[in-house]
Structure 1
């Protein structure tokens, strides 16, 4: 059953939205502050599906996806360099965390040895495999860093508890943290490797995990870099292996957003977004959520109220801290990330990568 649910989740996430994919994007319609927002396509030269994305700046970004593909741009997306690790063609990269235009860590997902971590210090010219999972019961989904040295990777439950890998040297080595500080997982509960946002962090110690697949969706919070966790329920519907919270974003250790729904094409996704103002202790459903499943979410830098959500059926903007969302684009994207200088990027199927512009 465990393998069946994972297979359904991985295949379903890969297929969801294919029928809704658009050749281009629609004009911006949202009231995105002084100027409306729009995605401006950047030709990647690849047909991979990118669910891993790291925005370094307006000019520099990394994307990681299917067929072991990793791309890097340093000119705002006008050109992309294929910097994929050699021999990684059979791997499924679902997350990338970058410290700058030279240093990055990528995660490949899958059962057993398919879950791996690689690091580069020279812009992808060379890579070092720094972790390979040898536990056939483990399946890693996403990773996050608190600073350039300390980070964690999240794995689905093993023996009834989510598994956490930790690094203290920038991803050059990893260790499995003891499970005693992790609450018991619910039957069927797991994380979704859909956007690299099933585990996120804010500041030097706080991290949050998004879950689904069980009777209810939950968010777990750690204030000590993953050693101990508390848990809270969310109003995002679950109750099925295809439903729950898919992506999280915290602009500080207090204010968080959750998005999700049902990733199956054509299935309704009511209450697909929620907001927290107390560090994830409690969650309130958005009064006007996105109209369908959303897999990725990101705060606009230096804004207390504005954020983006993306999914295979389109993108939405909130200007009131996540209480209400309004669609502004119909293009298919799986993940979104924003850099400190205000550069926001989105990526998805068929090599789609875009940068946010104001109109």
Structure 2
């Protein structure tokens, strides 16, 4: 069973036996198994259903889907969208998915499919030029949110209650004011995340403080808190990963390769009211993160310079791969995948 392999890996790592990157294929620890996609797109959107079915999206209007565990990938993106960047995708099964492109004005769009990408329906096209949609997340198959960078000084939230068939802008009266240069990073499709039936979090940066916003009512009202993660024009919180509605981590850093990353991780045990710096963090900026199902203390983090794993709830991290990935996600059965530049998609293995 999958959890037996996980326990074996935990024992190995906690004993200090993490292998060097070049030794991964000898079975000495966690690693990524690449599944060639035939695509050259940068894949920043990823939604894993299970070990057999996953969707990925990215530049050049690309949407990819596998239903055989990555042995083959089909290009199933909406037609006439080669100029769009699909930075986020949310899939419910092998047939039903919602894809979002980013950009100012009409470049921000949302499409849905119910037949595995054979046909798509455009259900939202941003009519407001100052708005720039970054990412989205669903509470269940019907209810979800999409996030735009601040408009008139506040982050903007779209809401759907019919699985993405229709969207409405929520009132901004319950949204705290943004910092003058604050925004969300459309780097991994994870700047907006959800947990449970009503809780959502926004990851932000770009200004003096790297912050996390939290809503307990599906985006109607929000609170905001500072994190110890570094912030600046190219730095901040890139993603929040939540084990449940109270326990989670915020991960980020500075994506500018000429600037060192420090304080890349923060932890919360109260749903995001407060954040603390753990004893140790990945050495570089990380854009995506996820908890490992059935392993409550296990977290994966990925970025352009490598992948890290924590097996103690985010207190300590070990890099186990040096390849470039932008986003990571796990399915209900515990299968975890990562995606990134030049069409790279891989499955996690112990």
TM-score by length of structure 2 reads: 0.92
1:243 to 235, 238, 256: 235
2-side partners of 1:322 and 1:291: how far apart?
Answer: 14
Query: How big is the shift at 1:112?
Result: 0.3
What is the Cα deviation at residue 27 of structure 1?
Answer: 3.8
Q: Which residue of 1 aligns with 2:17?
A: none
Q: Is this contact kept in 2: 1:84–1:124, CA < 8 A?
A: yes
CA distances 1:200-243 after superposition (whole Å, capped 9, x unpaired): 000110000000001000000000000000111000000x2100
Structure 1 residue 35, shift from structure 2 partner: 7.2
CA distance in 2, matches of 1:199, 1:275: 17
CA RMSD, Structure 1 to Structure 2 (Å): 1.2
Structure-1 residue corresponding to 2:101? 108
State the partner residue of 2:164: 171
Structure 1 stretches of at least 4 aligned residues deviating more than 4 Å after TM superposition: none
Q: Does 1:355 align with 2:338?
A: no
The match for 2:330 among 313, 338, 345 is 338
Give the secondary-structure state (helix, strand or coil) at the position aligned to 1:323. coil
Q: What residue in structure 1 maps to residue 284 of structure 2?
A: 292
Task: Tell me how far 1:26 sits from its aligned partner.
Answer: 4.1
1:45 aligns with 2:32: no
Q: RCO higher in 1 or 2 (8 Å CA, sep ≥ 6)?
A: 1
User: Paired residue for 1:156, among 133, 149, 161?
Assistant: 149
Q: Where does the alignment leave 5 or more consecutive residues of structure 2 unmatched?
A: 1-20
Normalised to the residue count of structure 1, the TM-score between the two structures is 0.90
Name the CA distance, whole Å, in 2 between partners of 1:285 and 1:292: 15
Structure 1 residue 28: Cα displacement: 4.0
SS of 2:106 mapped into structure 1: helix
Aligned to 1:4: none
1:332-352 Cα offsets, whole Å, 9 max, x none, are 000000011011000000110
For residues 295 and 249 of structure 2, what CA distance do their matches in structure 1 show?
14
Write out aligned runs for 1:76-91 (5 A). Answer: 76-91=69-84
The 1:171/1:27 distance shift into structure 2, 3 A limit, reads: farther
- Give the conservation status (yes or no) of the 8 Å contact 1:211–1:244: yes
Matching of residues 119-130 of structure 1 within 5 Å: 119-130=112-123
Counterpart selection for 2:244 from 240, 248, 252: 252
Matched residue count: 329
CA distance in 2, matches of 1:75, 1:26: 28
Q: Distance in 2 between matches of 1:261 and 1:26?
A: 26
CA distance in 1, matches of 2:341, 2:223: 34
State how far apart, in whole Å, the 2-side matches of 1:255 and 1:319 are: 15
Gaps of 5+ in 1: 1-24
C-alpha distance in structure 2 between counterparts of 1:283 and 1:260, whole Å = 14
